[in-house]
């Protein structure tokens, strides 16, 4: 059974909705969606590296919040509610110097006023890079 309010959306549409945003600037694109998870990738390049040549922790958090936000909003009726970030934390496990990282968001709790998402970020060989927990506040669209 799918958690998505309007079924599984088109991947190109999800990525094109991010045009002109930080998500677009960082090169984040949605790559997969299942009945209960959303995956996106982000390049590890000049846009996402820290001065020591490793993936910047803030870029990992931006990827995690992006995926969690997209996923949360896909579970809601956009005419009535939106999901906005309330809290995020991240544990950075392994450095990455090049290539891509992939983040997958899965829900832990989909409540009426809050949602909690786990986001696993891995490298191209599926090794854990970062694990994040993202809490979303569900608010009325009229207050957005």
124-127 contacts: CB < 8 A, separation 24 or more? 124/99, 124/100, 127/94
Do the bridges between strand 99-110 and strand 114-122 make them parallel or antiparallel, or are there none, so unpaired?
Answer: antiparallel
DSSP string, 33-45: E-SS-EEEEEEES
Q: By the 8 A CB rule, do 116 and 134 touch?
A: yes
Candidates 12, 65, 98, 124; catalytic one? 65
Residue 98 bears catalytic tag: no
Task: Residue 85: name the closest of 70, 104, 103 by CA.
Answer: 70
Catalytic residues: 65
């Amino acid at each position: 059974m799918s958690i998505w309010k309007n079924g599984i959306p088109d991947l190109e549409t999800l990525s094109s909705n991010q045009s002109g945003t930080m998500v677009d600037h960082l090169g984040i694109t949605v790559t997969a969606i299942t009945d209960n998870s959303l995956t996106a990738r982000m390049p590890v390049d000049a846009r996402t590296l820290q001065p020591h040549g490793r993936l910047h922790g803030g870029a990992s958090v931006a990827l995690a919040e992006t995926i969690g936000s997209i996923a949360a909003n896909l579970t809601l009726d956009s005419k009535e509610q939106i999901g906005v970030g309330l809290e995020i934390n991240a544990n950075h496990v392994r450095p990455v110097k090049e290539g891509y990282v992939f983040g997958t968001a899965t829900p832990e709790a989909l409540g009426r006023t809050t949602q909690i998402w786990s986001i696993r970020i891995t490298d191209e060989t599926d090794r854990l890079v970062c694990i994040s927990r993202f809490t979303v506040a569900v608010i009325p669209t009229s207050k957005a």
